[in-house]
Amino acid sequence: MEITVNRKAHFNAAHRLHNPQWSNTENQKVFGKCNNPNFHGHNYELVVSVTGPINEDTGYVIDMKELKSIIKEQVEEPFDHKNLNLDTEEFKNLNPTAENIAVVIWDKLRKFLAPALKLKITLYETPRNFVEYSGNES
C-alpha cells in the first residue's frame, strides 16, 4: 500500500536559454525572447512528491519537516534570488530550460531519500507552463 506526499516550495531566479554551439541567429530563432542576453526571470513554484508506504508508528510516509528542510538546503538556498546561468554550477554548461531544471532538482533530492521511496518533481516556470519528472529508475 503506497501513498504520495507532496510539499510545495518556491524560488525566484533569472535565466537565459542559449546553446553556445549555435550562432546568435540560430539561438534567437529557437529560443526567441527567452534568449535575451541580459536575462529574464521567473517565480519558480516547485512540488516535491514522495511515494512510499505509511509508517505505522507515525502515520507518515516521510516527516514533512525533514523533507521541507532538504528542499530548503538543496534547492531554495542555492537557487533562490540567483542567476541560474551565472551563479550555479549546475547550469554553467546546461541550458536552464524548465525540463533541465526539473531533472537537476530530481538528481539533487534523490540521494537524500531512502531507496524504497519514489520521487517526482513538478516545476512551474509560469502559471501556464510547467513540467513533471519522475526520474529514470523504472
Phi, psi of 10 (to 5 degrees): -155, 160
Told to judge if 125 belongs to the known catalytic residues of this protein, a careful annotator would answer yes
Assigned C-alpha cell, 118: 519514489
Assigned C-alpha cell, 88: 550555479
Assigned C-alpha cell, 83: 542567476
Contacts with 44 (C-beta within 8 Å, 6 or more apart), sequence order: 10, 11, 12, 13, 79, 101, 123, 124, 125
Residues 18-47 that bind its own copies (CB under 8 A): 19, 21-22, 30-34, 36, 38-43
Residues 66-125 that bind its own copies (CB under 8 A): 80-83, 86-87, 94-100, 102-103
Active-site residues: which are they? 34, 81, 125
Residues found near its own copies in the complex (CB under 8 A): 1, 3-10, 12-15, 17, 19, 21-22, 30-34, 36, 38-43, 49, 54, 57-61, 63-65, 80-83, 86-87, 94-100, 102-103, 126-133, 136
